[in-house]
Structure 1
Amino acid sequence: MMKKIYKLFYIVGFINIGFMMSCSEDILDTKPLNGYSDVDVFSDASLLRNYVNGAYGTFRTPFRDENTFTDGLTDNAYNQHGSAEAQVRRYNQGEVTRDNGESVTFSLWYHSYTYIRRANLFFEQIQGSPINENELTTMKGEMHFIRAYNYFQLLSWYGGVPLITDTFELGQDSYSVDRSSIEETVAFIVEELDMAISQLPSKSSVLDGRASMEAAMALKGRTLLYAASPLFNESGDQSKWQAAMEANREVMDLSSVSLVDMDNWGPMFRGENDQEVIFRRQYSQQNNQGYGVNVWLFPNSNGGWATITPTQDLVDSFELVTSGELPEESPSYNPQEPYENRDPRFYETILYNGASFKDGTYDPYLDKQEPDNQDLAGLDSRISPISPHNASRTGYNFLKWSQPSVGEFDGNTGPYIFFRKTEFYLNYAEAQIELGNEEEARNAINEVRRMREMPDINTSGQELMEEYRNETRVEFVLEDHRFFDIRRWMIADEVLDDPAMGVEVFRLSDGSFEYNYDFTTQANRQWVDRQYFLPIPFEEIQRSGGAIEQNPGYQQ
C-alpha cells in the first residue's frame, strides 16, 4: 500500500526554474515569483512548465563534485584528497555504519524524496487543470519518469523503500511509514515508466536533456536487469530475467539511436557526437560545469588535481586488440611494453606513461638511478616540481570525460550521459546468458565489440559470463556502472577485498622505461557484506517510529 510523506511543500514565494539540460536553454535559474499561489502555478501552462523544469534538478552528475564518481568505490579507481575522500575510504575500508552512510551516498535519501515530493504534489494539484491536454500529458510523462528515476536510485542503494505517492496534510493522525519490498518497489517503478512511455514524445521531438519515450524505456530496461540480478532476486526467478531480456531488447531495437564506432566513441564523451545517446545532461556556456571535470581528472602538470585515478587492475582489464586476450593470458604481452596493441577504448580512457596529452606527453616516471631527484623526474610524477600533491598515486590518469581543448578552470561544456544504446546490447546479453541462450548473448556482445574494433568472442558457460562482465567494465568506465554491477552480481568479496595497486615507472639511462607492478596505492581495502546495501538514515527510522526496518548488518 502506498504511504504518505512527512514533509510539507510550499510553492508560494518561489519556483525553481530551468534545469532544462539543453544548450542555450539549459540554464539553472531560480526566479522569485512572489504573489503566485499554488492555484496559479498549476493552472498556468508557463508556470507549470517552470515547475516541471525545476524537477530536472534531481539528475545529479559526478561533475558536480570531485569525488562523486562511484568508480572510486570499486576496483576501477583510487580517490585521493578532496572533500569526499573520507567518505570513499569509509566504504572501501568497510566502515559504513547507520550514522555515516549518507556521506557515502551524498545524502541520496533526502535528495530523492525531495524530488519525489515535488512529483507527488504535481500529480495532486493538476487534477482538473485547465491546461491544454497535450501539453499536460507530456508534463505528466516527465514527472512519472522523474519519480521513477528517484525510486530507482533509492532501490539501487538501499533495496526496498517506502513508496510515497501523496503529501501529508496538517493534522493527520500518523506520519509513520514502512518499507515496501524489493518486488513492490520494482513493480511501482515499472508502472511509473509504463505511464511515462505512453505519455512522452520520442527523443527527436524534445529538447536535448528532456525526458523522452526512449529515456523511459531505457530506465525500465536497467531497472528490470537490476531486479533480476542476484542481489535483488534471491530465489533466482527466471521470469525476472525474461522480463529484463524483453525490456532491454526493445531499447536495443530502437531506430532513433545507433551504436557509435571507435572514431566517435571518445568524442561522444566530449559532447561532439550524440548518435547513441538516449538521455544526457548537456552543459552549455551559460550553464557550464564550473570547475568541472577537467580539474578532477587532469594531471598535475596541466593544473588538474588527479582526484580519481585508474588502478592497475582496471588497466589490466583492457584486452589486446590482436587476440582479444587479457594481458595476463596472452603469451605475446610484454609487461615492459605494456601499452602496445590494446583495446582501442584504452587509449580513449586512460592516460599512461608516454601518452600524448594536450601539447605534450603524460610523464609519471621517476629516474631509475636517482628516484628522489626532482629534476630528473617526469612533470606528472609524485615528486614533480608542479603541484606534486596533485600527482596521481597510481601512475595513471583518466582521459575519458575530460576536454583537453578546454583549460582546467574554464568551465567544461561536455555532457554527462545517463543512458546510451550500447548498455542495452550488453544488458540484453546478460539476460540471455542467464536464460541459457548463449548464441544470442554472443551475437549482442560481438556487435558491440565489432564497433570497438575488437575480435569476436566465442566462449560459453562461466567463461562467457566473465567475458561479458569484462566487456561492461571497459565500456562503461566512469559511467556509474561498475559500483552497481559489482553489488548486484554479489562479487564484491572477490574484487573489493584486495589492495588498490598502481604502477611505478622508472626511466633508464638510455631513455627506455622499466615498470614495477608491485606498487601498492591503498593497502587497507576491506569488504564487509552489509555494504551490499547502504543503511537507511537512522533519523528516518526514528521519525517513522521504528516502522522502517533497517538493512541487515546495521544497528536499528
Structure 2
Amino acid sequence: MMKRTYKLLYIVGLVNLFAFQSCSDDILDTKPLNGYSDVAVFSDASLLRNYVNGAYGGLRTPFRDENTFTDGLSDNAYNQHGSAEAQIRRYNQGEVTRDNGESVTFNLWANAYYYIRRTNLFFEQIEGSPINEDELAVMEGEMHFLRAYNYFQLLKWYGGVPLINDTFELDQDSYAVERNSIDETVDFIVQELDLAISQLPGMNSVITGRASMEAAMALKGRTLLYAASPLFNDSNDQGKWQKAMEANRDVMNLESISLVDMSNWGAMFRGENNQEVIFEKQYSQQNNQGYGVNIWLFPNSNGGWATTTPTQSLVDSFELLSTGERPSESSNYDPQNPYQNRDPRFYETILYNGASFKDGTYDPYLDKDEPENAELAGLDSRISSISPHNATRTGYNFLKWSLPELGEFDGNTGRYIFFRKTEFYLNYAEAQIALGNEAEAKEAINEVRTSRGMPEVTSSGDELINDYRNETRVEFALEDHRFFDIRRWMIADEILDQPAMGVDVYKLSNGDFEYNYDFVTQQNRNWVERQYFLPIPFAEIQRSGGAIEQNPGYQQ
C-alpha cells in the first residue's frame, strides 16, 4: 500500500505546450499557471489533444542532443566527443557524486517530473469536462501510460522515488516530500498501466507514435521484469517473478504482431518493416532528431563522427552460425578470419573491416610496415586522411539504426523503437528461468533464435542463464537494454570493471589482414557499488528540507 499521496504545484506554461523549459525544472516550484486559461484548454477537444500530444515530449530517445546511447555506459560500446563522452566517462570511471549524477542521466529527474506535472494537471482539470466521453477516455489512457513511463524511467535510475499525483495548493504549509519505496513505485506504475490498458484502443486503431493497449501491456511487462530482478528484489520473491512471467507472456501471445525473420531484421531499424514493432517514435524533417542518427554512427570517411562505436567484447558476443558457440568457446573460430560464419545479426549490427557500406568498403586498417603512414592507412582508420578525429577508436562502427541511403546530415528522419515483440519472448524466458521452468524458457528463446537463423540452445542451469543473457545482448545491442540489464542483474562488478577493448587491423604487403586484439580503447574503467543507483539530485533533497532520503553511498 502506498504511504501517502504527495502534492505539488504545477508551473506548466500552457503557451509552450510542447517545450521543456529548464527554468521551470524544480519539482517544488510554486508559481501559478499562465498562458491560455485552464478552462479553454481543458474544455476544447483540439486544445486538449495538443496538450496531450505535448506530453509525449517526455519520451526521450538516444538520438537526441549529443547522442545518449546508454551502451556507452556498458561493455557494448565506447563513446567519444563532447559532453556525452565526458558524462559517460564519469560513470565508467566510478566518479559519480551527489552533485554530478544528473549529468549522467541528462537531467532525467527534472525532465521526468516536468512531464509528470503535465499529466497530473490533466487529470485534475478534466473533471467535468464537456469533451466527448469516448474521446476523453482515450486521452486519459494516453496520460496514464505517459505518467507510468516517466515513473519507470525514474525507477530504473534511482529506485523508489516520490510519487506525486496531485497539485499543491498555493497556501500549502509545507512542500516537503518523501521517497516511496521501490515496491510502492512499481505498484503505482502497474496501477497506471492497468488503467491505460482498459482505456486505450489496439495499436491498429491509433496513429503511429501514440500509446495503444499493446504499448501499455509492453511497459507493464518490462516494469514487472525489472521489479523481479535482483537489484529491485533482494529477497528473490518468487511472486514477483510469477507476475513478470504472466505480464510478458500476455505480450508474447499478442496476435496483432509477430516476430520478424532475419530477412527483415535489419530493415526494421531503418523503418522499412513494422511486423514486430509495438511502440515507436517516428522522426521527420519537421519532428527531427537535430543532427540525426547518421552523424552519430557513420564512419568518418562518410562524414560521420563515430560517436558511439562497438567494443571487441560486443563483437565477441556474436556466435558462430554453424555451431551456436561464442568465439571464445569454439575450436572452429579463426581469429585471423574473424568475421566469417557469424550470427546473421552481426552483419546487420556491426561495420567491420572489409564490410560493404554505402558505395564502398569499411576500411579501419593501418599499414603493417608503416603503421603511422596515413596515406597507406584505410580511410576509416584513426590516422585517416579524412577527419581522423572522427574515426572509430575501436576498429568498428555501428550499422544498426543508421540510414545508409541518406547523407550524414540527412539521418534526422527514421524511427526509434521503444518496444518490439522479441523482447517479451526473452523477458518471459528470463522469468521462467527464475521460476525453475527451463523447458518453457528454452522454448521461448529458441523461437527467437530460429527466426534469426541460429541453432537452438540446449543448455541448463548457469549455462542457460549465460546463454539467455548473451541472446539479449546480441538481439538488443544499441537499444538501451544492456546497461540496465547489467545493473538489474547486479553483475556490474564482473562486467564494468574491465577496460574497453578494440582491435588493431593491419594490412600486409600481400593484401591480407592481421588482427591484433590487445588494443585498449579505454583503460581506466572502474566500477563502484553505489552506482547501481544514481544519486537523487542534491538540490531536490535541500528543497525537501532533507525529507527525501539519498541513495546509499552518496552524501546526504
How far, CA to CA, are the matches of 1:182 and 1:12 in structure 2? 33
Which structure 1 residue ranges, 5 or more long, are not aligned?
Answer: 18-33
SS at match of 2:83: coil
8 Å Cα contact 1:2-1:165 kept in structure 2: no
CA positional deviation for 1:411: 3.8
8 Å Cα contact 2:65-2:290 kept in structure 1: no
State the AA in 1 paired with 2:499. P
Q: Residues 242-281 of structure 1: matches in 2 within 5 Å? A: 242-281=242-281
8 Å Cα contact 1:277-1:421 kept in structure 2: yes
8 Å Cα contact 2:230-2:490 kept in structure 1: yes
Aligned residue in 1 for 2:6: 4
How far, CA to CA, are the matches of 1:359 and 1:65 in structure 2? 28
Which structure 2 residue ranges, 5 or more long, are not aligned?
Answer: 20-33
8 Å Cα contact 1:8-1:169 kept in structure 2: no
Aligned residue in 2 for 1:87: 87
CA positional deviation for 1:205: 0.2
SS at match of 1:505: strand
How far, CA to CA, are the matches of 1:126 and 1:304 in structure 2? 47
State the AA in 1 paired with 2:108. L
SS at match of 1:382: coil
Q: Residues 46-445 of structure 1: matches in 2 within 5 Å? A: 46-445=46-445
CA positional deviation for 1:10: 4.2
CA positional deviation for 1:167: 1.2
8 Å Cα contact 1:67-1:79 kept in structure 2: no
4+ aligned runs moved over 6 Å, structure 1: none
Aligned residue in 2 for 1:28: none
CA positional deviation for 1:412: 3.0
Cα deviation digits, residues 335-354 of structure 1 (max 9, x gap): 00000000000000000000
Cα deviation digits, residues 20-53 of structure 1 (max 9, x gap): xxxxxxxxxxxxxx97311111111111111000
State the AA in 1 paired with 2:341. N
How far, CA to CA, are the matches of 2:15 and 2:232 in structure 1? 42
Aligned residue in 2 for 1:15: 17
- The change in CA–CA distance for 1:191 and 1:12 in structure 2 (over 3 A counts) is closer
8 Å Cα contact 1:67-1:83 kept in structure 2: no
How far, CA to CA, are the matches of 1:15 and 1:439 in structure 2? 50
Aligned residue in 2 for 1:493: 493
SS at match of 2:518: strand
SS at match of 1:146: helix
How far, CA to CA, are the matches of 2:213 and 2:333 in structure 1? 46
How far, CA to CA, are the matches of 1:186 and 1:14 in structure 2? 31
CA positional deviation for 1:414: 1.2
CA positional deviation for 1:66: 3.0
Aligned residue in 2 for 1:24: none
SS at match of 2:459: coil
How far, CA to CA, are the matches of 2:540 and 2:412 in structure 1? 37
- The change in CA–CA distance for 1:12 and 1:398 in structure 2 (over 3 A counts) is closer
CA positional deviation for 1:287: 2.2
CA positional deviation for 1:16: 2.9
- The change in CA–CA distance for 1:518 and 1:183 in structure 2 (over 3 A counts) is same
CA positional deviation for 1:82: 2.1
How far, CA to CA, are the matches of 2:63 and 2:458 in structure 1? 38
CA positional deviation for 1:289: 2.4
How far, CA to CA, are the matches of 1:536 and 1:187 in structure 2? 21
CA positional deviation for 1:410: 1.8
* TM-score normalised by L of structure 1: 0.96
CA positional deviation for 1:7: 4.0
State the AA in 2 paired with 1:8. Y
SS at match of 1:83: helix
How far, CA to CA, are the matches of 1:236 and 1:481 in structure 2? 21
CA positional deviation for 1:8: 2.8
8 Å Cα contact 2:278-2:421 kept in structure 1: yes
How far, CA to CA, are the matches of 2:14 and 2:157 in structure 1? 33
How far, CA to CA, are the matches of 1:283 and 1:208 in structure 2? 11
CA positional deviation for 1:12: 5.2
CA positional deviation for 1:284: 2.0
8 Å Cα contact 1:299-1:380 kept in structure 2: yes
How far, CA to CA, are the matches of 2:35 and 2:408 in structure 1? 42
8 Å Cα contact 1:119-1:143 kept in structure 2: yes
How far, CA to CA, are the matches of 1:50 and 1:241 in structure 2? 39
How far, CA to CA, are the matches of 1:287 and 1:263 in structure 2? 29
8 Å Cα contact 1:269-1:415 kept in structure 2: yes
8 Å Cα contact 2:177-2:547 kept in structure 1: yes
- The change in CA–CA distance for 1:47 and 1:388 in structure 2 (over 3 A counts) is same
Aligned residue in 1 for 2:25: none
Aligned residue in 2 for 1:26: none
SS at match of 1:446: helix
How far, CA to CA, are the matches of 2:84 and 2:465 in structure 1? 34
State the AA in 2 paired with 1:359. D
8 Å Cα contact 1:81-1:307 kept in structure 2: yes
SS at match of 2:375: helix
- The change in CA–CA distance for 1:11 and 1:298 in structure 2 (over 3 A counts) is closer
SS at match of 1:66: coil
8 Å Cα contact 1:310-1:397 kept in structure 2: yes
CA positional deviation for 1:286: 2.9
* Identity in percent: 79
8 Å Cα contact 2:71-2:483 kept in structure 1: yes
SS at match of 1:554: coil
Give the total of aligned pairs.
542
8 Å Cα contact 1:295-1:408 kept in structure 2: yes
CA positional deviation for 1:3: 3.5
SS at match of 2:502: strand
How far, CA to CA, are the matches of 1:262 and 1:16 in structure 2? 38
Cα deviation digits, residues 275-317 of structure 1 (max 9, x gap): 1000000112332323101000000000000011000000000
* TM-score normalised by L of structure 2: 0.96
8 Å Cα contact 1:368-1:508 kept in structure 2: yes
SS at match of 2:309: strand
CA positional deviation for 1:11: 4.5
